[in-house]
C-alpha cells in the first residue's frame, strides 16, 4: 500500500521533469515573421514591396483616412474646384482647419503612412544585395524600393513646404536613408530643396534598375515599372521647374498608354484596365479599404455613404458644350443633397462590394505636363499641340494660339482633366498660387435658384449650392503662401523628435 | 529520493486517530485547527473540511490537545472511533480561515495583507460578473464598472496603478489555479469566498503574475452532514442609473441653427441682411426636414425668431426609443453535502439579464460539480468542473462608430421623426397594412445618420457573442510521510467566444451592399500544472513550521479566426453561407508559457510571533532566452501582542496584531507576446504575399518588478464590538514595461522598453463596529477607505506625452496634460485657450493647435471605498452599501458631441448651448455659433470635470421565515428579499455616468443601470 504511493509520486515526479524541457519557453507568432527570415531570398524580399504597398494603400486610420490615396482627397478638398459638403470626411480639410492643426488624426496619419513606406524602402535598399536569388530581380526590387522612397519624398515635398521658388532653404521634413534601428533618434528637418533633390536622386537611381521590367497584365498596374518612374520624375521636374527634363520624362512615361476614348471617360474612373492608366491601385472585394475613398468621391451611386465631393458650380463654366466631360455634370434633386452640382466622374465599379480602383498616374496628366513644360520653356506651338491632343480626345474645342495665355489655359485644363485626382493643392503650392472660391449666389446676393430638368420632362426648382467656405478660418481672404495650405508636422513628431 | 525515504516510516507501530473539529457557535468545520498528542510534538492540522487524521506512535498516549487561535483549547481522549470536537470561542476574537496562495491560513496569523468577501455578500446581488461585486467591499480595491452592458466585467485596480503599458489587472485564481477563462462565466452563486491578496507576503507566491494583486475565487464545497438542496429565484427590473445629458427643444434648435448660419454668412463676407435672409432660407434645407409643416416653408424668420404661428408637429425622443426597462431573471439550484468518504457540491444556474438598450442582453447557463473523494487513507482526489454557456447581445457601445447604440439616440434631435410623418400635417404615414412606417431619413445630414433607423434595426441586426467556458481543476493529494504531503493539480480553462455580427440586407446601415455578416472565433486554452510538497509540523507545542515547495508550468494559447461576407441572397438569412461576396478571412495563433519553481516557509512561535518567507523563479516566453528568468521573493512577520502575558489579561482589548511584509513580484504582460523580436507583419496584396516591417526589436526586454511594502495593525476591542485594520503600503514598480514613443518619422510609433519607475504609496483603512447588539436587534457597520498617491519616480527622458496625459518624474501616470481653456472672447465669441510662455506668462489664442499643453490634475481619486450597514431584527435583515470615490478628474469625450457650434448640424444640441456667446450675452463659456469648425470641442480643460461620486451600490431587505414554520414544511430555511442596485447616485457633472475608466476618459459607453429585484431562497 505504501509502495503504491511512492510509485505514484515517482510517476508524477517524472512527469514533472518532462514538462521542464527547454523549448517550452520558446514561442513564436504566426502572423508575423522575424526579420532574418524575410531577408533570405529575392522572392521573400518581394513580399516586403507588396506588403508595404498594401500597408500604404489599405491602412485605415479612421474611416475618413483610408490609406495613401486619402492624401489625394485632401489635396482636392483644399483647392478651388471641389465644394465639399458638410458630411463626414474631408469637411474640415476643406475649411482649412484640419491640416494646419498638428493634433489632428489626418495629420499624423499621412505622416505615418509616408515614413512607414520610407523605412521599409530603406530596409530593402540596405539589405537586398545580401540575399540569394536572381540578380536582375534583386536589382528590380531595389529599383522599386528607390522609386517608392522617391515617391514618398516627392509627396512630402509637395505638401509640407512651399515650392523652392519661394525659399529653397525653408525647412521641410526629415530625410532618412537607412533603416531605423532601436537607437535611431529622429532626424532634423531638411530644406525643401534637399527633399526635392532626394526625391529626384531616388527616382534617377530607380530608372536603370527597373528598365526592362514587365509587370504583366493590367491587374498588376500597381507595380512600379519604368513608365511609372518616368512619370514620377516628370512630376518632380515640373515641380522644380526643370522644363526640358519634365517634358522628356512625361513623354517617356506615356509610351504605350494612349489617351482613353470619350466613352471610357464616362465609366467612373474605377477600373485599372483603362488604357490610359499608367499606374493604379486595383481593388477586390476582400481588399477594399482604399475603396472607402469612393464614399467621398462618388456622388451618384446609391451605396455611396458621404458623397461629399460636389463640384463648384463655377467649375462647370470652364468647359465647352461639346466636351465629353460636361456630360458628368448633374444638378442634384435628391433629398439631403438637393441643389448641389454633382460631377459624376468617380463611381464605384462594383456597387455590391462597394469597390473601385484608384488612378495614380495616367497619360492625360503626362500630356499636360508636356504641354506645360513646352509652354513654360517658350515652345508655344508644341505646347498647343499637346494640349489639343488631349482636348481632341475629350471632344473639346481646340486651343487656338493667342486666345488667352497658354500657361493659364494649360493650368485650367489640368483642373478640368484631373479634377478629384489629387492635384489641386499641390498645383497651388507649386505655382505659388491661391485658392479661389466664390459664393454661388444670384447677382443681388440672394440664393441662386435653378430649374433642373427631371427625367419625366418636368422641372424642379432648387437652390443652387456652391462653396460654403470662402475665407480662411481666421476670417482673412485666400492668398498665396498661406500657412493654411501646408500640411503640418504632427504633434507626436514635435514631441518625440529632439532633432526636429 | 522520496521512494528511498519511504520505508523509514514503516517501523513504528501506530494507531490512527481521525475526527473533525467544528466551531461550537455555528457548527461549521474549522480548517487549520491544530491537534497534538499531549506532551509531544506529534501533531497535525485539520484540512479545509475540518477533518484530521493523526498517527499516534506512542502506545501510552491517551489524550489529544486541540487548539485553534481565538478558541479555548480542548483536551479529548484518544478513541478508535472518529472524534467530534467542538471548540468554543475564547471570546477574545473569532478568527476566520481565509484562502491564501496555495492553501489556507488563519486571518489573524497571516503576515501579509488579505481581505475576504464571503459568498453571501454576492449571492443576492444583481450582477452578472463577479468582478462587479467587489466595489466598496474591500479597502484597497478600486473597481469601476464603466459599462452597463449586461455581462461585462469591471476594471479592478488593487492598491494603485502598478504599470503604465503593461497590464495593471490583478491575477484571478479560481480554486487554486490562475484563471484565464471569462470572468462572467463564473456564477456568483457558486462562490464560497473571494480573497484579495494585496501585498507581497500574500501574493509573491504567484510571483510572475501577482504584481498587481491577486483575486482568489473559491467555489463552494460540500459541508455539513447529509444533503442540502438550495434553490433561489429572483426577478428584477432595471433602467438607466443617471439621466442622460439634457438636450434642447426643436424650437431652440431651429433658432440656434439659424444663428449659426447667419454668423457663418457674415464671416464669409455677406452683409447682415443677406446673411440673415440666406440663413432663413437654408435652415430647413440643411436640416433636411421641416417639423413645422409645409405651411411654414421658412419657419425661422430673418429676425432669427420662429415665425408667428409656427409650432412643431412632432417631437420624438430617440434616446428614450433606444431604451427600455430591462428585465432580469435568475434561478439557481444546488445540491451539496458530505458522505463518509466524499464531499460534493453540484449546482446549476440560469440567468437572463436584459439590457436597458434595445438589442442588448446576457443569458447564461452554468453547471458546476465539485467533488472530493478520500480514495485511500493517504490519498485524496478531487475534481472541480464548471461549464458555462452564455449568449450576450452586445451591440456597439464602446466605440465611436455611428451605430453605437448609446450614442445613436443621444445624438438624434427631436425633429427627426422615428416614424414617417406627413410633411404637411405631421400625421403618421401608414402602410397598406395600417402600420406606422419607420423613417430611415435619407434626407438627414450625415451628422444624424441618414438612411438608418436603429430603433427598428436593433431588433433585426445582431451583435451576438456566444461563449462556452469549461474550467476543470483535478487534483490528488497524497500524504507521503507524517506531515509531508504532495499535491498535484492540473487545471485547464477553455474559453471559446464566437461572435456573430449581422446587418440586414434591406434596411439601415448596410442595405446598399445587401447586408453583412461577420463571424469570429476566439479560442483560448490555458493550463497550469503544479506539483507541490508541503510539510506542516508543530514541535514542543511551541514551534509551528510549515514548508511548501514545488514547481509549476503554465501555457496559454489563443486562436483567432474571422471571416466576413456581404450581399445576402435572400432576406431573413444571417449566416456567412447565405451571403455572396467574400470580404475577408483571417486567423492566427498566439502562445505564451511560463515555467516556475516556488517555495515558502512559515514559522510561528506559540501563536505569538509569525514569520514567513517565499522564493519563486519564473521563466517567461515573452522575453529572450537571456532575459527570461526572474526571481521573486517575500518576507513577512507579525506579532500578536494580545498573546503576550501583559496584554492577555486586558479586559477591553481582544486582539492587537502588528504586521509587516516586503517582497518583489513580477509582471511580463506588455500586451505583446514577442516584444523582444524584430518582426515583420504578414499581409498580402492583391493575391500576392506581403510583409512589412512593424516592430523594432528590443532583445534586452525583461521582467517588470514590483517591490511591495506593507505595514499594518489589526485590532479588536470591547468584546469585538469595535475593530479594524490600518495598513500602510508602498508599491514601487521598476523596469516598467513601456511602449516608449518614437518620432513617427522613424517609421515606428514606439518601441518596447523597460523604462522608469513608479510608486504607489497609500493607506488602507477598514473599521468595523457593532453599535447595537441585543438579543433581537443587531446593527453592524463597516467602513473602508483607501488613499494612495501614484508617482512616476524615474523616466529615461524628461517627459513622455501620450494622448491626454504626460509622464514626468514627480507626476502621476494619469495626470491630464491638456490645453487650458481660457473662456470665450467677450468681443468676438471665439473660443480661447491659453498660450503660456517659458516664464509662465499667459496670453490667449483662438487657434486650438496654438494653445499650450499644461498639467490639469489627475484622474485618480484622492479617497475611495465603501460604507456597509447591516441591521437585523429577528429574522429581518436590512443592509445597504455606499461606494464612493472622492477627488480626481474625468475628461468627458461624450458631451462635446452635443456641444458643436453648428458645424455638425443635424446632431442634437445640449441645453447648455443656449448659453452661447451673442453680442448680448458676452460673459459665457460657450462660444458663438458658426457652421465652421472652431475646434472648441477638442480635448481641453473645458471638458474636464470633477469625478467625485457616491453611489448607493446595494440595498437589501430580507426576511428569514421563523424556524417553527419551516419545520412543519420540512424546510431548512426560506428567505425572501428585495434588492436594489445603484438606486441613488450623488455626482457632479449631469448627464455623464460618474463610473468611468480609471484613466478618466469617457468613450461613449453603455451607462450604468439601476435595478430593483425581488427573490426567494429555499433550503431543504
Distance CA A348, CA A298 (A): 7
Identify all chain B residues contacting A198, using CB atoms and an 8 Å cutoff.
none
- What are the cell numbers at B676? 523582444
Q: Do A287 and B686 touch (CB under 8 A)?
A: yes
- What are the cell numbers at B159? 492598491
What Rg value do the Cα atoms of chain B yield, rounded? 32
- What are the cell numbers at A368? 499636360
Q: Do B2 and A6 touch (CB under 8 A)?
A: yes
Distance CA A147, CA A119 (A): 13
Residue A22: count of CB within 10 angstroms of its CB: 9
Which chain A residue has the Cα nearest residue B569?
A352
- Chain B, window 871-910: residues with a beta carbon less than 8 angstroms from a chain A beta carbon: 903-905
Span A230-242, average pLDDT = 98
Question: What is the DSSP annotation of A430-472?
Answer: HTT--------B-TTSSB-EEEEE-TTS-EEEEE-B--S--S-
CB B899 within 8 A of CB B937: yes
What is the overall mean pLDDT for chain A? 92
Identify all chain B residues contacting A33, using CB atoms and an 8 Å cutoff.
679-680, 682, 691
Distance CA B597, CA B172 (A): 20
Residue B744: which residues within 8 A CB-CB, separation 6 or more? A108, A111, A112, A115, A490, A492, A493, A496
pLDDT of residue A105: 93
Query: Is A33 at the interface with chain B, CB within 8 A?
Result: yes
Distance CA B770, CA B678 (A): 61
Which chain A residue has the Cα nearest residue B586?
A31
Distance CA A388, CA B285 (A): 42
- What are the cell numbers at B859? 484622474
- What are the cell numbers at B193? 469566498
Can you list the alpha helix ranges (DSSP code H) found in A41-169? 42-58, 69-77, 91-94, 105-127, 135-159
- What are the cell numbers at B199? 501585498
Query: Is B741 at the interface with chain A, CB within 8 A?
Result: yes
Q: Please give the interface size between A and B, counted as residue pairs whose CB atoms are below 8 Å apart.
A: 316
Distance CA B575, CA B688 (A): 29
In the beta sheet, which residues pair with residue B344? B337, B371
Closest partner CB to A32 (pick from B619, B680, B684): B680
Angle at B617 between CA B615 and CA B620, to 5 degrees: 150
Identify all chain B residues contacting A91, using CB atoms and an 8 Å cutoff.
903, 933
Nearest CA distance, A371 vs chain B (angstrom): 35
Identify all chain A residues contacting B446, using CB atoms and an 8 Å cutoff.
86-88, 306, 308
CB B700 within 8 A of CB B675: no
pLDDT of residue B256: 96
Q: Do B681 and A352 touch (CB under 8 A)?
A: no
Nearest by Cα to B940 from B1018, B841, B824? B824
Closest partner CB to A338 (pick from B285, B595, B801): B285
Model pLDDT for residues A104-115, shown as the tens digit of each residue = 999 999 999 999
Model pLDDT for residues A405-462, shown as the tens digit of each residue = 999 999 999 999 999 999 999 999 999 999 999 988 876 667 788 888 776 777 878 8
Would you place residue A281 in the very low, low, confident or very high pLDDT band (cuts 50, 70, 90)?
Answer: very high
Distance CA B654, CA B92 (A): 5
DSSP H helix total and E strand total for chain B: 10, 52
DSSP 8-state symbol, B311: -
- What are the cell numbers at B925? 463659456
Place of cell 469595535: B722
The alpha carbon of residue B480 and the mean position of all alpha carbons in its chain are separated, in whole angstroms, by 41
Q: Do A182 and B697 touch (CB under 8 A)?
A: yes
pLDDT of residue B570: 85
Distance CA A208, CA A225 (A): 10
- What are the cell numbers at A483? 500657412
Span A206-233, average pLDDT = 96
Nearest by Cα to B826 from B919, B752, B900, B888? B919
Taking the C-alpha atoms of B669, B672, B678 and B679 in order, what is their torsion angle to the nearest 10 degrees? 160
- What are the cell numbers at A197? 533633390
Can you list the alpha helix ranges (DSSP code H) found in B210-271? 250-267
Nearest CA distance, B908 vs chain A (angstrom): 16
Residue B870: count of CB within 10 angstroms of its CB: 16
Identify all chain B residues contacting A182, using CB atoms and an 8 Å cutoff.
696-698, 751
CB B283 within 8 A of CB B305: no
**A468 pLDDT above the threshold of 90:** no
Distances (CA, A) of B68 to B2, B467, B650, B848: 32, 44, 20, 68
Residue B612: which residues within 8 A CB-CB, separation 6 or more? B111, B112, B201, B600, B601, B602, B603, B634, B635, B636, B637, B661
Stated pTM of the model = 0.85
Identify all chain B residues contacting A45, using CB atoms and an 8 Å cutoff.
none
The alpha carbon of residue B200 and the mean position of all alpha carbons in its chain are separated, in whole angstroms, by 22
> Which of A379-388, A390-399, B759-768, B969-978 comes out lowest in average pLDDT?
B969-978
pLDDT of residue B1: 34
Model pLDDT for residues B445-477, shown as the tens digit of each residue = 888 888 889 999 998 999 999 999 999 999 999
Query: Is B748 at the interface with chain A, CB within 8 A?
Result: yes
Which chain B residue has the Cα nearest residue A7?
B3
In the beta sheet, which residues pair with residue B330? B234, B351
- Chain A, window 330-389: residues with a beta carbon less than 8 angstroms from a chain B beta carbon: 334-336, 338-339, 351-354
Q: Do B745 and A101 touch (CB under 8 A)?
A: no
Query: Is A112 at the interface with chain B, CB within 8 A?
Result: yes
CB B583 within 8 A of CB B194: no
Q: Do A9 and B905 touch (CB under 8 A)?
A: no
- From the number of C-beta atoms within 10 Å of its C-beta (0-12, 13-18, 19+), residue A107 rates as buried
Query: Is B673 at the interface with chain A, CB within 8 A?
Result: yes
Distance CA A109, CA A162 (A): 21
DSSP 8-state symbol, B908: -
Percent of chain B as helix, strand, coil, to the nearest 5: 10, 50, 40
CB B214 within 8 A of CB B203: yes
Distances (CA, A) of A6 to A201, A498, B381, B481: 78, 66, 16, 10
- What are the cell numbers at B523? 479560442
Closest partner CB to A302 (pick from B512, B581, B620): B512
pLDDT of residue B122: 82
Identify all chain B residues contacting A439, using CB atoms and an 8 Å cutoff.
268-270
Question: What is the DSSP annotation of A405-422?
Answer: -HHHHHHHHHHHHSTTSS
Distance CA A445, CA A439 (A): 9
CB B1011 within 8 A of CB B980: yes
Distance CA B522, CA B20 (A): 46
Query: Is B481 at the interface with chain A, CB within 8 A?
Result: no
Nearest by Cα to B292 from B388, B426, B408, B200? B426
**A385 pLDDT above the threshold of 60:** yes
With b meaning 16 or more CB within 10 Å and e meaning fewer, what string describes B112-121? bbbbbbebeb
Total residues belonging to chain B: 1020
pLDDT mean values, one per 10 residues, chain B (1020 residues): 37 72 75 81 80 82 80 79 76 64 79 85 81 84 83 85 81 88 87 89 80 89 82 93 94 96 88 91 90 94 94 94 94 90 93 93 95 90 94 86 88 95 94 93 86 90 94 92 89 94 87 89 94 89 90 94 91 90 91 93 90 93 92 92 85 90 88 86 92 90 91 90 93 89 93 90 93 88 94 88 88 93 94 93 90 93 93 90 93 94 93 95 95 89 94 92 75 88 92 87 89 90
Q: What element of type H or E holds B958?
A: strand B949-960
Distance CA B1011, CA B148 (A): 11
CB A415 within 8 A of CB A81: yes
Nearest by Cα to B140 from B727, B948, B728, B786? B786
Span A141-162, average pLDDT = 98
Closest partner CB to B745 (pick from A115, A123, A463): A115
pLDDT of residue B836: 94
Total residues belonging to chain A: 500
Q: Do A352 and B580 touch (CB under 8 A)?
A: yes
CB B598 within 8 A of CB B623: no
Nearest by Cα to B958 from B973, B978, B935? B978
Query: Is B51 at the interface with chain A, CB within 8 A?
Result: no
Query: Is A38 at the interface with chain B, CB within 8 A?
Result: yes
Q: Do B685 and A54 touch (CB under 8 A)?
A: yes
Angle at B96 between CA B95 and CA B100, to 5 degrees: 125
What is the overall mean pLDDT for chain B? 88
Distance CA B552, CA B532 (A): 8
Q: Do A123 and B693 touch (CB under 8 A)?
A: yes
Q: Which of A285, A438, A463 to mutate to test the interface with B (most CBs of B within 10 A)?
A: A285
Amino acid at each position: 500500500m505504501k509502495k503504491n504511493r511512492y510509485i505514484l509520486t515517482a510517476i508524477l515526479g517524472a512527469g514533472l521533469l518532462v514538462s521542464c524541457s527547454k523549448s517550452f519557453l520558446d514561442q513564436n507568432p504566426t502572423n508575423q515573421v522575424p526579420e532574418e527570415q524575410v531577408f533570405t531570398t529575392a522572392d521573400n524580399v518581394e513580399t516586403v514591396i507588396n506588403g508595404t504597398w498594401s500597408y500604404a494603400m489599405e491602412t485605415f486610420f479612421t474611416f475618413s483616412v483610408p490609406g495613401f490615396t486619402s492624401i489625394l482627397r485632401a489635396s482636392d478638398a483644399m483647392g478651388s474646384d471641389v465644394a465639399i459638403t458638410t458630411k463626414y470626411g474631408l469637411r474640415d480639410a476643406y475649411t482649412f482647419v484640419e491640416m494646419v492643426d498638428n493634433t489632428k488624426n489626418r495629420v499624423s496619419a499621412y505622416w505615418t503612412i509616408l515614413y512607414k513606406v520610407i523605412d521599409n524602402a530603406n530596409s530593402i535598399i540596405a539589405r537586398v544585395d545580401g540575399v540569394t536569388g536572381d540578380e536582375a530581380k534583386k536589382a528590380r526590387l531595389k529599383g522599386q524600393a528607390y522609386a517608392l522612397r522617391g515617391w514618398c519624398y516627392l509627396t512630402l515635398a509637395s505638401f509640407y513646404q512651399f515650392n523652392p521658388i519661394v525659399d529653397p532653404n525653408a525647412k521641410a521634413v526629415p530625410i532618412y536613408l537607412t533603416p531605423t534601428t532601436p537607437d535611431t533618434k529622429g532626424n532634423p528637418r531638411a530644406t525643401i530643396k534637399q527633399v526635392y533633390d532626394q526625391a529626384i536622386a531616388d527616382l534617377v537611381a530607380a530608372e536603370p534598375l527597373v528598365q526592362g521590367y514587365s509587370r504583366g497584365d493590367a491587374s498588376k498596374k500597381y507595380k512600379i515599372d519604368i513608365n511609372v518612374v518616368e512619370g514620377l520624375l516628370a512630376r518632380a521636374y515640373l515641380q522644380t521647374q526643370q522644363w526640358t527634363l519634365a517634358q522628356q520624362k512625361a513623354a517617356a512615361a506615356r509610351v504605350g498608354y494612349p489617351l482613353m476614348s470619350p466613352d471610357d471617360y464616362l465609366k467612373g474612373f474605377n477600373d485599372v484596365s483603362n488604357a490610359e492608366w499608367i499606374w493604379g491601385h486595383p481593388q477586390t472585394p476582400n481588399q477594399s479599404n482604399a475603396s472607402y475613398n469612393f464614399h467621398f468621391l462618388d456622388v451618384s451611386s446609391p451605396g455611396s455613404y458621404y458623397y461629399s465631393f460636389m463640384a463648384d458650380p463655377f467649375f462647370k463654366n470652364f468647359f465647352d458644350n461639346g466636351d465629353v466631360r460636361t456630360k458628368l455634370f448633374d444638378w442634384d434633386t435628391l433629398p439631403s443633397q438637393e441643389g448641389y452640382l454633382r460631377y459624376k466622374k468617380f463611381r464605384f465599379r462594383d456597387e455590391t462590394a462597394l469597390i473601385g480602383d484608384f488612378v495614380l498616374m495616367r497619360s492625360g496628366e503626362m500630356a499636360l505636363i508636356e504641354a506645360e513644360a513646352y509652354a513654360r520653356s517658350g515652345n508655344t506651338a508644341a505646347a498647343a499641340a499637346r494640349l489639343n491632343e488631349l482636348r481632341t480626345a475629350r471632344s473639346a474645342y481646340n486651343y487656338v494660339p493667342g486666345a488667352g495665355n497658354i500657361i493659364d489655359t494649360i493650368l485650367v485644363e489640368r483642373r478640368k482633366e484631373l479634377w478629384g485626382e489629387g492635384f489641386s493643392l499641390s498645383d497651388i503650392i507649386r505655382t505659388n498660387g491661391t485658392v479661389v472660391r466664390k459664393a454661388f449666389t444670384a447677382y443681388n446676393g440672394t440664393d441662386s435658384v435653378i430649374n433642373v430638368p427631371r427625367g419625366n420632362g418636368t422641372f424642379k426648382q432648387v437652390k443652387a449650392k456652391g462653396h460654403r467656405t470662402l475665407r480662411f478660418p481666421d476670417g482673412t481672404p485666400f492668398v498665396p503662401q498661406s500657412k493654411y495650405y501646408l500640411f503640418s508636422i504632427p504633434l507626436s513628431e514635435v514631441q518625440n523628435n529632439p532633432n526636429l | 529520493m522520496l521512494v528511498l525515504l519511504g520505508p523509514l516510516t514503516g517501523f513504528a507501530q501506530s494507531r490512527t486517530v481521525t475526527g473533525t473539529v467544528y466551531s461550537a457557535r455555528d457548527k461549521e468545520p474549522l480548517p487549520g485547527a491544530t491537534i497534538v498528542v499531549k506532551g509531544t510534538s506529534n501533531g497535525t492540522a485539520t484540512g479545509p473540511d475540518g477533518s484530521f487524521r493523526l498517527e499516534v506512535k506512542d502506545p501510552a498516549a491517551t489524550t489529544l490537545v486541540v487548539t485553534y487561535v481565538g478558541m479555548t483549547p480542548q483536551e479529548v481522549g484518544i478513541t478508535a472511533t472518529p472524534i467530534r470536537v467542538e471548540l468554543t470561542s475564547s471570546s477574545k476574537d473569532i478568527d476566520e480561515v481565509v484562502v491564501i496562495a496555495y492553501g489556507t491560513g488563519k486571518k489573524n496569523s497571516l503576515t501579509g495583507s488579505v481581505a475576504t468577501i464571503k459568498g453571501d455578500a454576492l449571492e443576492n446581488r444583481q450582477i452578472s460578473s463577479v468582478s462587479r461585486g467587489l466595489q466598496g467591499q474591500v479597502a484597497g480595491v478600486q473597481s469601476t464598472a464603466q459599462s452597463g452592458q449586461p455581462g461585462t466585467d469591471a476594471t479592478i485596480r488593487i492598491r494603485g496603478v502598478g504599470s503604465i503599458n503593461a497590464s495593471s489587472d490583478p491575477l484571478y485564481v479560481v480554486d487554486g489555479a490562475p484563471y484565464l477563462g471569462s470572468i462572467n462565466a463564473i456564477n456568483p452563486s457558486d462562490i464560497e469566498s473571494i480573497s484579495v491578496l494585496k501585498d507581497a507576503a500574500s501574493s509573491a507566491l504567484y510571483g510572475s503574475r501577482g504584481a498587481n494583486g491577486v483575486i482568489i475565487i473559491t467555489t463552494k464545497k460540500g459541508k455539513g452532514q447529509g444533503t442540502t438542496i438550495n434553490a433561489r429565484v429572483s426577478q428584477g427590473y432595471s433602467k438607466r442609473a443617471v439621466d442622460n445629458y439634457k438636450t434642447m427643444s426643436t424650437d431652440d434648435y431651429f433658432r440656434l441653427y439659424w444663428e449659426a448660419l447667419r454668423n457663418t454668412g457674415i464671416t464669409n463676407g455677406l452683409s447682415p441682411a443677406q446673411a440673415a435672409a440666406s440663413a432663413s432660407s437654408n435652415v430647413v434645407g440643411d436640416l433636411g426636414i421641416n417639423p413645422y409643416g409645409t405651411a411654414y416653408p421658412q419657419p425661422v424668420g430673418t429676425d432669427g425668431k420662429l415665425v408667428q404661428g409656427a409650432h412643431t408637429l412632432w417631437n420624438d425622443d430617440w434616446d428614450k426609443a433606444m431604451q427600455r426597462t430591462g428585465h432580469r431573471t435568475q434561478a439557481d439550484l444546488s445540491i451539496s453535502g458530505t458522505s463518509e468518504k466524499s464531499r460534493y457540491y453540484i449546482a446549476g444556474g440560469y440567468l437572463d439579464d436584459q439590457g436597458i438598450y434595445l438589442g442588448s442582453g446576457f443569458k447564461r447557463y452554468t453547471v458546476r460539480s465539485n467533488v472530493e473523494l478520500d480514495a485511500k487513507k493517504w490519498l485524496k482526489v478531487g475534481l472541480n468542473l464548471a461549464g458555462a454557456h452564455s449568449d450576450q447581445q452586445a451591440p456597439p457601445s464602446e466605440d465611436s462608430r455611428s451605430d453605437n447604440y448609446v450614442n445613436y439616440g443621444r445624438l438624434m434631435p427631436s425633429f427627426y421623426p422615428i416614424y414617417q410623418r406627413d410633411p404637411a400635417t405631421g400625421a403618421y404615414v401608414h402602410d397598406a397594412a395600417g402600420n406606422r412606417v419607420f423613417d430611415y431619413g435619407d434626407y438627414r445630414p450625415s451628422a444624424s445618420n441618414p438612411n438608418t433607423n436603429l430603433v427598428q434595426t436593433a431588433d433585426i441586426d445582431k451583435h451576438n457573442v456566444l461563449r462556452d467556458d469549461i474550467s476543470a481543476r483535478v487534483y490528488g493529494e497524497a500524504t507521503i510521510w507524517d506531515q509531508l504531503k504532495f499535491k498535484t493539480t492540473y487545471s485547464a480553462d477553455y474559453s471559446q467566444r464566437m461572435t456573430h455580427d449581422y446587418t440586414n440586407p434591406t434596411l439601415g446601415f448596410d442595405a446598399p451592399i445587401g447586408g453583412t455578416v461577420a463571424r469570429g472565433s476566439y479560442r483560448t486554452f490555458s493550463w497550469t500544472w503544479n506539483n507541490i510538497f508541503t510539510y506542516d509540523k508543530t514541535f514542543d507545542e511551541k514551534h509551528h513550521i510549515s514548508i511548501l515547495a514545488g514547481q509549476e508550468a503554465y501555457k496559454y494559447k489563443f486562436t483567432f479566426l474571422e471571416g466576413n461576407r456581404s450581399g445576402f441572397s435572400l432576406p431573413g438569412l444571417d449566416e456567412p453561407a447565405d451571403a455572396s461576396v467574400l470580404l475577408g478571412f483571417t486567423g492566427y495563433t498566439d502562445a505564451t508559457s511560463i515555467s516556475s519553481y516556488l517555495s515558502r516557509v512559515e514559522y510561528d512561535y506559540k501563536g505569538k510571533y509569525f514569520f514567513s518567507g517565499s522564493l519563486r523563479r519564473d521563466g517567461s516566453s515573452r522575453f529572450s532566452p537571456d532575459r527570461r528568468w526572474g526571481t521573486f521573493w517575500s518576507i513577512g512577520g507579525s506579532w500578536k501582542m494580545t498573546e503576550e502575558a501583559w496584554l492577555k489579561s486586558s479586559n477591553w482589548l481582544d486582539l492587537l496584531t502588528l504586521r509587516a511584509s516586503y517582497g518583489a513580484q513580477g509582471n511580463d504582460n506588455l500586451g505583446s507576446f514577442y516584444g523582444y523580436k524584430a518582426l515583420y507583419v504578414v499581409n498580402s496584396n492583391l493575391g500576392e504575399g506581403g510583409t512589412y516591417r512593424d516592430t523594432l526589436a528590443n532583445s534586452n526586454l525583461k521582467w517588470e518588478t514590483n517591490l511591495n511594502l506593507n505595514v499594518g495593525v489589526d485590532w479588536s476591542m470591547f468584546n469585538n464590538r469595535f475593530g479594524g485594520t490600518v495598513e500602510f503600503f508602498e508599491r514601487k514598480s521598476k523596469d516598467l514595461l513601456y511602449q516608449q514613443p518614437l518620432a513617427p518619422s522613424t517609421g515606428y510609433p514606439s518601441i518596447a522598453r523597460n523604462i522608469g519607475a513608479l510608486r504607489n504609496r497609500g493607506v488602507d483603512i477598514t473599521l468595523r463596529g457593532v453599535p447595537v447588539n441585543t438579543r433581537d436587534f443587531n446593527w453592524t457597520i463597516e467602513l473602508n477607505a483607501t488613499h494612495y498617491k501614484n508617482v512616476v519616480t524615474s523616466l529615461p527622458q524628461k517627459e513622455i506625452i501620450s494622448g491626454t496625459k504626460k509622464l514626468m518624474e514627480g507626476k502621476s501616470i494619469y495626470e491630464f496634460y491638456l490645453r487650458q481653456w481660457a473662456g470665450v472672447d467677450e468681443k468676438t465669441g471665439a473660443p480661447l485657450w491659453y498660450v503660456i510662455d517659458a516664464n509662465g506668462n499667459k496670453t490667449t489664442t483662438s487657434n486650438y493647435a496654438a494653445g499650450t499643453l499644461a498639467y490639469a490634475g489627475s484622474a485618480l481619486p484622492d479617497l475611495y471605498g465603501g460604507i456597509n450597514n447591516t441591521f437585523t431584527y429577528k429574522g429581518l435583515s436590512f443592509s445597504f452599501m455606499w461606494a464612493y470615490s472622492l477627488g480626481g478628474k474625468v475628461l468627458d469625450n461624450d458631451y462635446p458631441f452635443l456641444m458643436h457650434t453648428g458645424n455638425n448640424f443635424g446632431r442634437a444640441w445640449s441645453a447648455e448651448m443656449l448659453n452661447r456667446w451673442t453680442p448680448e450675452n458676452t460673459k459665457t463659456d460657450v462660444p458663438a455659433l458658426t457652421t465652421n469648425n472652431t475646434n472648441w470641442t477638442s480635448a481641453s480643460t473645458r471638458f474636464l470635470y470633477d469625478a467625485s461620486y457616491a453611489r448607493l451600490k446595494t440595498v437589501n431587505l430580507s426576511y428569514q421565515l421563523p424556524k417553527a414554520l419551516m419545520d412543519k414544511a420540512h424546510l431548512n430555511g426560506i428567505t425572501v428579499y428585495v434588492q436594489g442596485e445603484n438606486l441613488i447616485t450623488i455626482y457632479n457633472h449631469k448627464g455623464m455616468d460618474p463610473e468611468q475608466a480609471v484613466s478618466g476618459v469617457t468613450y461613449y459607453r453603455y451607462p450604468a443601470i439601476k435595478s430593483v429585484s425581488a427573490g426567494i431562497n429555499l433550503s431543504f
